[in-house]
A = this chain, B = another copy of it.
Amino acid sequence: MGNIHDIARIAGVSAATVSRVLNDHPYVSAEKRKAVLDAAEQLHYEKNINAVHLARGKTDIIGVILPFASHPYFGSILSGIASAAEKNGFKLMIAQTNYDVNQEIDALNMLKLKQVDGLIITSRECPIDVVKDYSTFGNVVVCESWSGHQMSSVFVNQYEAFKEALHYFLQKGHAKIGYSVLRMDGKSSTARRKAYEEVFGFVRKDWIFDRALTIEDGTRLAGEWANLDDRPTAMLITNDFVAAGFILECRRLGFTVPGDVSVIGFDNHPISAPLGITTVDLPLHELGKIAFEQAIAAGNRSHQEVPFTIVERESV
């Protein structure tokens, strides 16, 4: 193996010249270039990337914070980020946080430690002000509606999307509408609640369903819904996985969809098509790509909204 100085010695040049050859810098004579390449070959030389990172002061690595790697919502965003990273010669460091603040902080610290050049936060538990303070150490991108000059953001307008879905229900004759969220106090839940109040002038606690993220949650939700004395006739559900669990369990319980209850999901996950779930399409892969671009953007922070569209199927 050996290092750059060994190569220099064997090739009879300086370490600087070796570095130039290895990095395709101009101004190296053909013969020295060859001598260096031969020596490198002979030594089976491999760069120590840590030395490179140290010397350059950057790593070409972007960190990604996501609560659950196995959930399709985050998986899609991650996939988008990864595609873009690959195209740009960047590597990805991921931190699965489980919405644990300590783990989030731990991941954020990668910025301080110069382990990553930028960081994408797909979702968080940690207060935004804490996150913000890390922006002095590198680009921070949040996947949520946020405006400010310290960080970039890329997001779906949750408020508008939710509102549009509600109006869709209204237009289809529904007046009793319930909805589910992942975390009652989460950012997008607040937007949803606000949209609901905007449209109806009130919210009914028993029509809001909490902790809904997975298919199993959807199944549970169906039971909770069925147990209500006064059931909503329409449900606006966190995502298509939850919607799938909800619909399938409702049917198992003897209800019909959309007969007894109409459903709109979010994400337009592939499962929604064969199940005929009407859903709000969110371009998550694209969102991931944009997040990556923002993460490597030099200097300029930006705020980008990605569009949503309602995909009409048979669950309403």
Q: Which residues of A contact B (CB under 8 A)?
A: 46-51, 53-54, 59, 61, 68-72, 75-76, 78-79, 82-83, 86, 91-96, 103, 110, 112-115, 214-216, 218-219, 241, 244-245, 248-249, 252, 270-271, 273-275, 285
Contact = CB atoms under 8 A, between A and B. Distances in A.
Nearest to A80: B70
A69 to B, nearest CB: 4
A69 B79 contact: yes
Contacts of A274: 215, 218-219, 244-245, 248-249, 252
Contacts of A50: 50, 53-54, 59, 114-115
Contacts of A83: 96
B82 A69 contact: yes
Contact of A47 (B59, B113, B219, B270): B113
A70 to B, nearest CB: 4
A47 B83 CA distance: 31
Contacts of A61: 93
Contacts of A115: 49-50, 91
B75 A70 contact: yes
A64 to B, nearest CB: 8
A86 B96 CA distance: 8
Nearest to A217: B270
Nearest to A114: B48
A245 B271 CA distance: 8
A15 B252 CA distance: 69
Given A92-B94, A270-B215, A113 B70 contact: no
A201 B76 CA distance: 42
Given A48-B113, A215-B273, A252-B274, 10 more contacts: A46-B112, A48-B114, A49-B114, A70-B72, A86-B95, A91-B93, A92-B96, A93-B93, A214-B270, A248-B275
A69 B94 CA distance: 12
A171 to B, nearest CB: 27
A86 B274 CA distance: 37
Contact of A68 (B68, B79, B114, B245): B79
A75 B69 contact: yes
Contacts of A78: 69-70, 96
A215 B68 CA distance: 21
A51 B54 contact: yes
- Looking at A68, A96, A110, A274, the one whose CB has the most chain B CB atoms below 10 A away is A274
A94 B82 contact: yes
Nearest to A107: B91
10 contacts: A49-B113, A50-B59, A50-B115, A54-B54, A61-B93, A72-B75, A91-B110, A92-B95, A219-B274, A271-B271
